[in-house]
Amino acid sequence: MSNIPAELKYVASHEWLRLEADGSVTVGITEHAQELLGDIVFVELPKVGANLAAEEQAGVVESVKAASDVYAPIAGEVLEVNAELEAAPELANSEPYAAGWFFKIKPANAADLDSLLDAAGYAKEIGA
Amino acid sequence: MTAPKRTPLFDAHVAAGAKMVDFAGWEMPIHYGSQLKEHEIVRSDAGMFDVSHMTVIDISGSDAKAWLQQLIANDVAKLPFEGKALYSGMLTEDGTVVDDLIVYLTSYGYRMVVNAGTTDKDLAWMDSHKAGFDVSLNVRRDLAMLAVQGPNAIAKVCAVKPQLADAIQSLKVFQGLPAGDWFFARTGYTGEDGLEIMIPAGEASNFFNELVAAGVAPIGLGARDTLRLEAGMNLYGHDMDETVSPLQAGMGWTIAWEPASRDFIGRKALEAQKAAGVPMKQVGLVLEGRGVLREGQKVVVEGVGEGIITSGTFSPTLKHSIAIARVPAATGADAQVDLRGTLTAVRVVKMPFVRNGKKVFE
């Protein structure tokens, strides 16, 4: 059974979001997503400073098995990307909710988070 | 829809933590945790694959040799002694590939191993080409098959079967030997040394567990695919099938043209293809930058034409992507691949990519 931390928000395309103390939002892919992908060998991250619309493509994750797009779960400006993940993409497998984060975004509208799935909603979404 | 079939090792896979998937109608292990780790174990130590879904066919009868000489493109007359193995394509009249297979010379005739997904059509094809030959086929569903591969594979099998160690160690590459109801062959699909072992179904689990205890790791189909791709070996249904000539799939070496009098199925079509000029060839592609080459991606060769990737992956040994592609015959050292909408430069190389754990292409 996949780990779905209660304190995070989720979208159906398998990204998670964490609201940080400074108002920024950290984004990654869920444990369920990395299980589906298998061993991850490359990630492509968005450019810092890019303004992304909700559901806009923000990057690519490539596993041995498949390539999959990563989407911006909410609109906002990319503040930071995880350079460590680019160098060690397997972090998205081993620590999807910690060292395997993808990018940080400054939400265009902080209230956008409220409408996203909570852990129970995501668990239902993936049939967990 | 019929339920997927299970090999005699199904319970052993589940007990070993396998993730099981449907493969060609069989419930098979795709990995036991990490495909990359399993790949590395086979390159550096020893791993084992359940290949019981493949089909063993024993061929006997006074016309067995003559029948095989017209059935397959390579020539069983080249097999000099019992146990020796031959790789071949079985072709259509149009000179395309029905299946690829291994055939061993045995005391009673021949033993053939064909792919799982093609078994039904292979057997129907063979049956429809038996008229006039004294030949009988015995499909050995009573056998399981384990491929034990890697630099330490043979030593670890010998540790489990000490009474057979001398015989196993005497095997040359592409050679097999029967031992009672068992059969050991020094063959494989990984580019490493190792054995493919046929086992009475009821003894398979016990042998599997003995090998685990001897330090042989179970390996899933995921790593089997990356290993064979690094070794530059074709996978039926991807790199060739009934729409592709063996001459365009890197299988020219498996066609025995001599003696010219041997009229095997597909020969006339292949001769016509050769006379007309074979327009496409199989090559290896290497992408040293980021990204992964995948089956079905378009290959663009400037000023020459287009081709297609037939198998592609991330190479765990080389840490970059490699692919097998079918490209125009005039393709040189450079090509581009349409990588999710971006034309990306790749190098065209001679395969294999990896042999015995080491990079081998220039």
- Report the CATH number that the domain containing residue A81 is assigned in CATH: 2.40.50.100
Average pLDDT of chain B to the nearest whole number: 97
Nearest CA to B296 among B283, B307, B288, B284?
B307
Average pLDDT over residues B187-213: 98
Q: What is the pLDDT of residue A122?
A: 96
The answer to whether residue A65 sits within a structural domain is yes
Instruction: Supply the DSSP string of B215-273, one letter for each residue.
Output: TPEE--HHHHHHHHHHTT---BTTTB-TTS-GGGTT-GGG----STT---TTHHHHHHH
Contact indicator for B248, B89 with CB cutoff of 8 Å:
no
Q: How many domains does chain A divide into?
A: 1
The answer, yes or no, to whether residue B43 has pLDDT greater than 90, is yes
The answer to whether residue A115 sits within a structural domain is no
What does the alpha-carbon distance between residue B227 and residue B150 come to, in Å, rounded to a whole number? 11
The interface pTM score, or ipTM, of the predicted complex is 0.81
The answer to whether residue A125 sits within a structural domain is no
The answer, yes or no, to whether residue B227 has pLDDT greater than 90, is yes
Average pLDDT over residues B328-332: 98
Q: Do B314 and A38 touch (CB under 8 A)?
A: no
Q: Which residues of A touch B226 (CB under 8 A)?
A: 64
The answer to whether residue A126 sits within a structural domain is no
Chain A closest CA to B152's CA: distance in Å? 25
Q: Which residues of A touch B311 (CB under 8 A)?
A: none
Q: Do B222 and A65 touch (CB under 8 A)?
A: yes
Chain A closest CA to B342's CA: distance in Å? 13
Which of A39, A42, A64 lies nearest to residue B291, judging by beta carbons? A42
Q: Which two tokens stand for residue B238?
A: 């991807």
The answer, yes or no, to whether residue B1 has pLDDT greater than 60, is no
The answer to whether residue A4 sits within a structural domain is no
Interface test with B, best of A34, A36, A65 (most B CBs within 10 A): A65
Chain A closest CA to B29's CA: distance in Å? 14
Q: What is the pLDDT of residue A1?
A: 62
Query: Helices B35-44 and B221-230 meet at what angle, rounded to 10?
Result: 50
Interface test with A, best of B19, B34, B344 (most A CBs within 10 A): B34
Which residue range(s) make up the domain with A16? 11-109
Share of chain B above pLDDT 70, in %: 100
What residues of chain A score a pLDDT lower than 70? 1
B82 among the known binding-site residues? no
The answer to whether residue A93 sits within a structural domain is yes
> What residue in A sits closest to B340 (Cα-Cα)?
A67
Chain A closest CA to B287's CA: distance in Å? 13
The answer to whether residue A96 sits within a structural domain is yes
Q: Which residues of B touch A94 (CB under 8 A)?
A: none
Q: What is the pLDDT of residue B314?
A: 96
The answer to whether residue A123 sits within a structural domain is no
The answer, yes or no, to whether residue B285 has pLDDT greater than 80, is yes
